[in-house]
Chain A
């Protein structure tokens, strides 16, 4: 893939590319473009970019009436192209949802820890939301293992069915976010307050979102265990759980205090796989007072009961 910077003057006439994409070009010219499309990677990228922008313009209602008709005839009658339109619409919707979350949670960052460290601003301003990523001592690990075994039994006993069959809203204490925001998705937007005339007390100023990234329990110093400091303004905690592999069709996540009290659970979660397998859950901050917490991830395949896969540990301190 060529570096585009510096070759912008080589952009092909985009009006011609639109004609090509609308299927309106004379056959000889079309054939020439097709051969160039096959042979030249930069050119092929440009056509596909223009196609994406056409779709975007259509979805934003920015096409002229004539182009709208041309677009409809070329794109909305072909299942594959129609699928591209649907995917672009989803990208726009997701970008807007993310932008809305960013505005609501500003100046906090709806991101994982490494990303937090990459921010252009100084880390100090995010110290309250940051997490120190170190794991447990051997003693802590033993405690953790023991409790994990107990939870496995509990999970299998109580919830083998519930996790697989209940709707996400039923198994998660997360408030429903409506059709456009499935509750099992790593949430980008903070859940809106319930509508009603009752005046809602103004929330404390500050970040509304805190993030923590956890790896399966490692043997390290417990004094520096995964710590999350939650400011009073935080309403949602995003927990990213890194997995070793992604071998299951879905996953169940269960958060308990170290003494076994169930805090939050969810089923039917899917692991993200772009960089590495991971699950991100959004937990209402009010459910996480100062305490030590265990997270257990179980893998679920259609055929069998959940299998305990990984355990994580973190401690919360309330400001």
Chain B
């Protein structure tokens, strides 16, 4: 289906994602609607991280723009063999546009790049929020909580040795322990971010 069949006369930049376009996008991700929704969510989260790494001040906007563009292509009838690669290509195109836009803005303003402002993380950044950190840690089931505490707490041993010992106790390779700790911390991060957002709303 061509673009002008759904939104006649609309320029590319003004194209808006329609329900039909979104449904088609989900269908390309997976014919099963529920699995497609999960894939969409996962892909969006990874896009957010990519744009963050590229220095985007608004990764959400950029990630949504990628999906808009991909959906538009699908509506236009472009055949997509590998959605992840296709999304990656569109994201990269958007990165380049982002960079060009930044350069243009800098030239237009005839300004030198601003000096980089480095901010250090002090105890003051943590203290008011420690209740969220502790509350979220407390919500983990005991075995996971113990793993996080044993993995991240300071020890008299060198950290590498401490983790080797922990891996040996759990009878898993160190890399498996690392990934396990990472998954738990991601879970913890989600809880902490939600808790901090709740705090900010109050």
Contact A23 B135, CB 8 Å, known A59-B121, A118-B142: no
What is the bound-complex CA distance between A76 and B122, given in angstroms?
12
- Please indicate which of the listed interface residues B50, B125, B135, B137 has the most CB atoms of chain A within 10 Å of its own CB: B135
Contact A8 B176 (CB under 8 A): yes
Chain B contacts of A41 at CB under 8 A? 42
Contact A90 B50 (CB under 8 A): no
Q: Does B85 contact A (CB under 8 A)?
A: yes
- Please indicate which of the listed interface residues A41, A115, A249 has the most CB atoms of chain B within 10 Å of its own CB: A115
Chain B contacts of A59 at CB under 8 A? 121
Chain A contacts of B126 at CB under 8 A? 86, 89-90, 93, 180
At the interface, is chain B mostly helix, strand, loop or mixed? helix
Chain B contacts of A88 at CB under 8 A? 185
Contact A4 B176 (CB under 8 A): yes
Chain B contacts of A84 at CB under 8 A? 189
Q: Does A179 contact B (CB under 8 A)?
A: yes
Which chain B residues (24-72) contact chain A, with CB distance < 8 Å? 42-43, 46-47, 49-50, 52-53, 55, 57, 59
What is the bound-complex CA distance between A90 and B52, given in angstroms?
21
Q: Does B168 contact A (CB under 8 A)?
A: no
Which one of A29-37, A154-162, A199-207, A222-230 contacts B?
Answer: A29-37
Q: Does A80 contact B (CB under 8 A)?
A: yes
Which chain A residues (55-111) contact chain B, with CB distance < 8 Å? 56, 59-60, 62, 72-73, 76-82, 84-99, 102, 109, 111
Contact B179 A49 (CB under 8 A): yes
The one of B53, B88, B134 in contact with A94, judged by C-beta atoms closer than 8 angstroms, is: B134
Which chain B residues (167-196) contact chain A, with CB distance < 8 Å? 172-173, 175-176, 178-180, 182-183, 185-189, 191-195
Contact B49 A249 (CB under 8 A): no
The one of B52, B191, B202 in contact with A274, judged by C-beta atoms closer than 8 angstroms, is: B191
The one of B57, B120, B148, B176 in contact with A95, judged by C-beta atoms closer than 8 angstroms, is: B148
Q: What would 26 A/B residue contacts be, using CB atoms closer than 8 Å?
A: A4-B180, A8-B176, A21-B53, A35-B85, A37-B46, A38-B50, A38-B87, A80-B52, A81-B52, A86-B129, A87-B193, A89-B121, A91-B133, A95-B152, A96-B154, A98-B137, A99-B154, A102-B149, A119-B142, A181-B130, A182-B131, A185-B130, A185-B131, A273-B139, A274-B187, A275-B141
Q: A91-B133, A98-B145 are in contact. List 16 more A-B contacts (CB 8 A).
A: A35-B89, A37-B46, A38-B88, A38-B91, A41-B42, A44-B46, A49-B182, A79-B57, A86-B125, A87-B189, A95-B149, A95-B153, A111-B145, A115-B142, A118-B142, A275-B139
Complex A-B, nearest 4 residue pairs according to Cβ-Cβ distance, in ascending order: A274-B139, A115-B142, A99-B153, A39-B84
